[in-house]
Amino acid sequence: MSGCDSIGIYSIETERLTKRFVLDRGLLDQVRNPGKRDVITTLDGVNLKVQEGEVLGLLGPNGAGKSTLIKILCTLILPSEGNAYVGGFDVVKEGQKVRSCIGFITTDERSFYWRLSGRENLQFFATLQNLPQSIARDRVEELLDVVRLKNRADEPFLNYSAGMKQRMAIARGLLNDPAVLFMDEPTRSLDPGAAKSLRDFIKEHIVEEKGKTVFISTHQLDEAEQLCDRVAILDEGRIKADSSPADLKSRLPAGGSLCDVFTFFTGKDFSEENSSSSPFSMPGSGRRRRGLGMGMKRKGF
Ligand SMILES: Nc1ncnc2c1ncn2[C@@H]1O[C@H](COP(=O)(O)OP(=O)(O)OP(=O)(O)O)[C@@H](O)[C@H]1O
Ligand SMILES: [Mg+2]
The residue ranges of every structural domain in the chain are: 10-101+178-297
Q: For residue 147, what pLDDT band results from cuts at 50, 70 and 90? A: confident
The whole-number pLDDT of residue 126 equals 94
Higher pLDDT, 238 or 129: 238
| Cβ pair 195, 124 in contact under 8 A | no
Which residues sit with their C-beta closer than 6 Å to ligand 1? 21, 23, 40, 42, 60, 62-68, 219
* CB count in 10 Å sphere of residue 215: 28
The CA distance from 58 to 114, in Å, is 30
Any idea which of 18-22, 86-90, 251-255 has the lowest mean pLDDT?
251-255
Give 166-180 pLDDT, tens digit per residue.
889 988 998 988 999
The CA distance from 199 to 168, in Å, is 14
Q: Which ligand 1 atom lies nearest to the CA of residue 71? A: 18
Q: For residue 47, what pLDDT band results from cuts at 50, 70 and 90? A: very high
Closest CA to 166 of 212, 198, 137, 202: 198
Radius of gyration of the chain (CA): 20
Any idea which of 74-78, 107-111, 168-172, 216-220 has the lowest mean pLDDT?
107-111
> Which residues, by Cβ under 5 Å, contact ligand 2, an ion?
66-67
Give 88-125 pLDDT, tens digit per residue.
999 999 999 999 899 998 877 788 999 999 999 999 99
Over residues 34-56, the mean pLDDT reads 91
Query: To 10 degrees, what angle do helices 162-173 and 118-128 make?
Result: 30
pTM: 0.83
* pLDDT above 50 for 294: no
Give the strand pairing for 10-22 and 39-51: antiparallel
Over residues 191-204, the mean pLDDT reads 81
Q: Which ligand 1 atom lies nearest to the CA of residue 23? A: 4
CATH class of segment(s) 10-101+178-297? alpha beta
Sheet (strand 81-86) strand order = 39-51, 10-22, 81-86, 89-90
Q: Which of 68, 268, 278 should be mutated for ligand 1, with most atoms under 8 A from CB?
A: 68
User: Which of 49-53, 218-222, 285-289 has the largest mean confidence?
Assistant: 49-53
Give 4-16 pLDDT, tens digit per residue.
554 457 999 999 9
For residue 93, CA distances in Å to 102, 103, 279 come to 16, 19, 42
Paired with 216 in beta bridges are 57, 183
pLDDT > 70 fraction of the chain, expressed in percent and rounded:
86
Q: Which of 18, 38, 66 should be mutated for ligand 1, with most atoms under 8 A from CB?
A: 66
